[in-house]
Amino acid sequence: MNSDRIVGALALKRSRWGWGETAFWLVAAASILLFSDRYLILTEMAWLGLFALSLDLILGYAGIVSLGHAAFFGVGAYAAGLLAVHGIVREPALALVAAGLAAMALGFVTSFLVIRGAELSQLMVTLGIALLLRELANRFSDITGGFDGLQGIVIDPVLGLFAFDLYGRTGFIYCLVVLFVLFLVARMIVHSPFGLSLRAIRNNPLRAAAIGIPVNRRLVAIYAISAFYAGVAGALFTQTTALASLDVFSFERSADLLLVLVIGGAGYLYGGLVGAVIFRLLQDVFSSWTPQFWQFWIGLVLVLIVLVGRERMYRGILWLPRQLGARLGKAKPAPSPGGGGA
Amino acid sequence: MFSKTMWRAVIGAALVAPFALTAAQAQDTVKIGLIVPMTGGQASTGKQIDNAVKLYMQQHGDTVAGRKIEVILKDDATLPDNTKRLAQELIVNDKVKVIAGFGITPAALAAAPLATRAKVPEVVMAAGTSIITERSPYIVRTSFTLAQSSTIIGDWAAKNGIKKVATLTSDYAPGHDALRFFKEHFTAGGGRIVEEVKVPLANPDFAPFLQRMKDAKPDAIYVFVPAGQGGAFMKQYAERGLDKAGIRVIGPGDVMDDDLLNGMGDSAIGAVTAHIYSAAHPSQMNRDFVAAYKKAYNQRPGFMAVGGYDGIHLIYQALKKTGGKADGDSLVAAMKGMKWESPRGPISIDPDTRDIVQNVYIRKVEKKDGELYNVEFVTFKGVKDPGKTKK
């Protein structure tokens, strides 16, 4: 009884907004004013962050691994593209929801295949589904435009008011707002009893089933939700770039996504967002520095990140704010250095 | 070992650097954004173009009409969304006056709306689908179109005793152009297509298709694969024994790209292709170009290098003509109708379509001094892009 109350109190405490979270979103909002010449890369960070968040929902919270998350991204991207090209849903925000639902439908159907297996077979099944969709899109090139991509996508102003401009300002604000709204929803989901039951399943599916959690149904639900998120990310991609080509389904996209989550860390929602920011920054820095060999440096940094360990690096980054906090006598003393390192 | 403080400094710097780099720029420089694939499957295209542009600037200096030229190289890894973002950032942040490069058709198409909107000339140095120049009034091309070479090889094959042809083309826009125009001209001349195969663009394995080709027993295979894949094709062609079965290789010249030709081995000898450039082109200008390129990069220039060399030349000449005025409308107006002697022969920009007008040569692979070369033996003068004149 007592331990129940402690667990409950802990869960409640975790679901409250901390200063760190508020600061994160304030910085994100401030970036609209601060980095007005880098809207395009910020936009990429925003949709990549949302995409990574969607993977985090299944990987970090439900323990489902995926090497084919680009399948949902691609469905969302093509759905948004086709809706715009054929003028079915002209308003971007509405098309966004429609694209998300299309991906969600696919997620629901394929979830039954995915949750059957353990990790390795999940990897194979998800990978296979993404490859399958890519080939389908290639095969039906009269609908999708094949390798050359969907031509003639024109995106109307958001809500009929805000047109997409050359500087990418509208696009970025639009992506950021969508990201924030969907993040709030995801936050509610993972802190709800439903979200807690997912964590129980991730830790031990057998025990979870034994205490009466309907394991399969919960997994199907979170997989479909995650697919919705990925679909929305794909739709944001298409709407901000007016492009949809076969590479939205590519294996590299799914693999990059895993890297993003590895960099940022899974299972606390912000991992995807932080990972997306760092990943895109690294790409941008290295590829303008050496357009020929940037992939080498990215690889090197990734290896270093894994070797050094995320924990130690974050401690490094947070060192200065903590010191400042300690000087001002407000913050708790910093954790003893070198204590928990692997 | 790095100390902790150093790590912190490194990480901090990495996070801040990209935003700090946008410093103020001098007014009299003209910046050119060069967007090409430098990594991935089409990397050889980007490297050739980059090399050629650098070579040209070494030879001709970096100042034209009193303005300094600065080329900003970007790698789009052949992803059209990258191309578009890079083009947009170059135009908006770096204030480039010209965007250039574009390794593949989707990349060139993705940048087209930006060129129109920002009124920035887009100089296409590689991509070869006919429709590209119709997508924006600011697009000018210095490479070639597939229609130019495909129609001519189609006519030539029909007239030179080739009756049955099997086709193998990459499954994307230039491949479709290459197939369509060849077929029209070859069948009009009385030829017959016995087998038609489209191979995927990314990492193709030709072997299963080649077996089908062999069974169809054609006089020749008509091949279009993008620059860089010709070597893999010819290797498998020889492995499957198609050369011994007497099946010749014909096609637009992309498959016999000069930078790979030497590595293809003797099975390539006798292949007949129609194309716009051969490193063996017998002109003094070309001999100098090839020698300079070989000296600088220790390899033979291919047609992509020539596209880049002519592209940067066109930008230089246009700036000279406008007296240093670098707004899009003046530059495009200056580029229209421009004529010059290129390493590939005399070329000009069609004032109506902004596409390139050039000689197309029929060449045969021969061994000269122990090296393989495409030796030109028929010349078709001043070929416009037939992909557009039809409409």
Of A334 and A292, the one with more pLDDT: A292
Chain A residues touching residue B22 (CB < 8 angstroms): 37
**pLDDT given at position A184:** 94
Cα distance between residue B108 and residue B314, in whole Å: 18
Average pLDDT across chain A, whole number: 85
Task: Give per-residue pLDDT as tens, B174-214.
Answer: 888 899 999 999 999 888 999 888 888 776 788 888 888 88
Q: Is the pLDDT of residue B12 over 60?
A: no
Q: Looking at the partner chain, which of B19, B81, B201 has a beta carbon nearest the beta carbon of A147?
A: B201
Average pLDDT estimate for A222-243? 93
Q: Looking at the partner chain, which of A37, A44, A151 has a beta carbon nearest the beta carbon of B85?
A: A44
Task: Give per-residue pLDDT as tens, A150-180.
Answer: 877 888 888 888 888 878 888 999 999 999 9
Beta carbons of A254 and A127 less than 8 angstroms apart: yes
What DSSP state is assigned to residue B270? Answer: T
Q: Domains in chain B, start-ordered, CATH in brackets?
A: 26-144+285-354 (3.40.50.2300), 146-275+360-389 (3.40.50.2300)
The H-or-E segment that residue B215 falls in is: helix B207-216
Chain A residues touching residue B114 (CB < 8 angstroms): 166
Which CATH number is A36-293 given? 1.10.3470
Q: Please, which residues have CB within 8 angstroms of residue B198's CB and are 6 or more apart in sequence?
A: B169, B170, B171, B175, B179
B109 touches chain A (CB under 8 A): yes
Average pLDDT estimate for A113-123? 86
Cα distance between residue B110 and residue B354, in whole Å: 18
Chain A residues touching residue B113 (CB < 8 angstroms): 242
Task: Give per-residue pLDDT as tens, B81-112.
Answer: 889 989 998 998 889 999 999 988 889 998 99
Cα distance between residue B108 and residue B111, in whole Å: 5
Interface touch B89/A40, C-beta < 8 Å: yes
Chain A residues touching residue B201 (CB < 8 angstroms): 147
Of B327 and A7, the one with more pLDDT: B327
Q: Is the pLDDT of residue B220 over 80?
A: yes
B200 touches chain A (CB under 8 A): yes
Cα distance between residue A185 and residue A179, in whole Å: 10
What DSSP state is assigned to residue B352? Answer: T
pLDDT category, A341, cuts 50, 70, 90? very low
Measure B81 CA to nearest chain A CA, in Å. Answer: 7
Q: Which long-range contacts (CB under 8 A, 24 or more apart) does A300-306 make?
A: A302/A259, A302/A262, A302/A263, A305/A262, A305/A263, A306/A262
Average pLDDT estimate for B360-384? 89
**pLDDT given at position A89:** 84
Cα distance between residue A272 and residue A95, in whole Å: 24
Q: Tokens 């759905």, residue? A: A79
Of B245 and B141, the one with more pLDDT: B141
Taking CA–CA distances from B15, the nearest residue in chain A reads A281
Q: Looking at the partner chain, which of A243, A288, A319 has a beta carbon nearest the beta carbon of B8?
A: A319
Domains of chain A by residue range: 36-293
A211 touches chain B (CB under 8 A): no
Backbone angles phi and psi of A89, in degrees to 5: -120, 110
**pLDDT given at position B166:** 92
**pLDDT given at position B356:** 93
Cα distance between residue B253 and residue B145, in whole Å: 11
B10 touches chain A (CB under 8 A): no
| % of residues, chain A, pLDDT over 70 | 90
Cα distance between residue A323 and residue A18, in whole Å: 19
**Reported ipTM:** 0.76
Interface touch A287/B75, C-beta < 8 Å: yes
Q: Tokens 């290129």, residue? A: B342
Residue type, A329: G
As to burial, measured by CB atoms within 10 angstroms (0-12 exposed, 13-18 middle, 19+ buried), residue B33 is buried
